[in-house]
Amino acid sequence: MIDWKTEWKPLAWIAAGFVVFFWLPIGWPRFDGAVTEALALTKWYAREHVLLCLVPAFFIAGAIASFVSQAAVMKYLGPKAPKVVAYGVASVSGAILAVCSCTVLPLFAGIHQMGAGLGPATAFLYSGPAINVLAVVLTASVLGAKLGAARAVGAVLFALVIGALMALIFRRSEQDRVDAAMVLPEPDGVRPLGQAAAFFAAQVAILVFANWARPDDPTGIWFAIWRAKWWLTSAGAASLAVVLVRWYTLAAWKAFAIAAPTAVLALVRPEHPELAFTAGVLGLAVVTARDTSELGLWFASSWGYAKQILPLLLGGVLVAGLLLGRPGYEGLIPSGWVEGAVGGNGVGATLFASIAGALMYFATLTEVPILQGLIGAGMGPGPSLALLLAGPALSLPNIVVIASVIGWKKTSVYVGLVVVMATISGLIYGTFIA
């Protein structure tokens, strides 16, 4: 006999799925268009972000788990670490990386898993995509120096205040980390700081320069870096090879086997540098996956983060595309609703801009032209700043992955803090400053 006390949940899921597909509005133009936009956004994300952004981030996160001792993380980022040191390291690290809201996730998961306090970890989570020097400069040049300065100041303060509030709100759960830190043994065989710094610096250089966006101004240092981005990325890859051979047990012939096809593709197909990048990534993955020493552990940790995060991200991007579409294209939610809701400078418009920014997905730097179009449609200065402070740091895919790392309760509080602070900052800016 069937026990419906335990079987009602499968029945409910089956019934819900049947109802959804039975009434699926195929043929309704908005629904058909939204499905197309969802697939188009996911395709774009897979092409533009998975290989160049997420794959290097997975390797960095795996390196944190494999080569950085838990005691070292607890010393500088743990609950017992001096607050000035912990939050300073977290915010500065995020600012240097200048990654998007999705790329920062493997790094956040890595330092949190290794024992970083919730406050510094969430400060790092916010600062990575928000404190982006190039984005702040682009905001100032396109939308005005006043809004650019407000974005820069607000992002720095957000990272520190949100991290401190998260640590305060969840101080009881943080006490468990303090107790764990008290019994951690001293790590054995820790590598010299110079070796670890060179190892991580090479990987960060690959991540940063491979994703360096082209600035609108065809002059200056930012444009010069963009023109040389693949040379700089190659220099980072060469440095990583040297470090792995010299200090991390990689045989020189294996490094050459990875570098040779990568260099050939770079010379033969310079118009498609992603081919050479792919060859390098695949070569490194194959070599480290078959390694039985510490490099094999590095790959295993990186693969673990990829399995955890990538499916959630792609699913989140698919849903975000279905609901909101791509920039310039509509999903199920008409763009006119968004433009009408953020008009003016009131409390409702500013709050809506914060919530919309927290759910929408912005690739690095794309928030500026999107905001430019919304301002042209009547968006006020307060909602503009609120969108800039909430948008780049959060997104629907980002929220789903954060919840898988720290749970929905803490994630909800984090998202709520970002939305509330963005709203308050927007109101202050729109009323008293702009």
Given this model, what pLDDT does residue 365 score?
A: 65
Given this model, what pLDDT does residue 259 score?
A: 93
pLDDT tens digits, one per residue of 286-329: 999 988 888 999 999 899 888 888 888 888 888 878 887 776 77
Whether residue 429 is predicted with pLDDT greater than 70 in this model: the reply is: yes
Residue with tokens 């188009």: 40
Q: How far apart are CA 4 and CA 29, in angstroms?
A: 41
Given this model, what pLDDT does residue 114 score?
A: 80
Work out the mean pLDDT of the chain and round it to a whole number: 83
Q: Which amino acid is at 107?
A: L
Give the range among 122-131, 254-263, 321-330 with minimum mean pLDDT: 321-330
Q: Which pTM was predicted?
A: 0.77
354 φ, ψ (degrees, to nearest 5): -65, -45
Q: How far apart are CA 60 and CA 284, in angstroms?
A: 13
Half-sphere exposure of 92 (CA within 13 A, CB side): 8
- How many angstroms separate the Cα of 408 from the Cα of each of 195, 395, 401? 37, 15, 10
Q: Determine the average pLDDT of the residues in 215-230.
A: 85
Whether residue 374 is predicted with pLDDT greater than 80 in this model: the reply is: no
Whether residue 419 is predicted with pLDDT greater than 80 in this model: the reply is: yes
